[in-house]
Amino acid sequence: MSYVSMDEEYLDLIEANKQKWTRIVAKHLVGATITNVAYVSDEDCRKLDWYSAPAVLQLMGKDGIAFEIFAMQDDEGNDGGALGTTLEELQTIPVI
């Protein structure tokens, strides 16, 4: 196997993974309605051992199930994270 083909295989795997997760996320988010915005409470930050409180988007799914979305520092949930936006006047939703 040549180095170039290994890179192409790796890029194909990355693309397939992006497509897989796009489908999974879209299934839950497309059509959902934001019902409230808050920040993670001090109590919940202590329970999670977080120093940073991220914004929480509270949503109602099209199936009627309520859920929340919040940013984390990484996939392991080591701390809360900021949210970036494409809004000129709100480019970042900060942690507190």
Domain boundaries, the chain: 1-30, 32-96
CB atoms within 10 A of CB 86: 6
- At residue 20, the pLDDT reads 97
Q: Cα Rg for the chain, rounded, in angstroms?
A: 17
Tokens coding 17: 């993974």
CA–CA separation, 95 and 84 (whole Å): 11
Tokens coding 20: 């897989």
| Structure confidence at residue 66 as a pLDDT band (50, 70, 90) | very high
Q: What is the pLDDT of residues 13-40, one digit of tens each?
A: 999 999 999 999 999 999 999 999 999 9
Q: Name which of 72, 50, 26 is nearest 83 in CA terms.
A: 72
- Encode burial over 52-63: b for 16+ CB neighbours within 10 A, e otherwise: bbbbbbebeeee
| Structure confidence at residue 7 as a pLDDT band (50, 70, 90) | confident
Q: Whole-number mean pLDDT of the chain?
A: 94
For the chain, what percent of residues have pLDDT higher than 90?
91
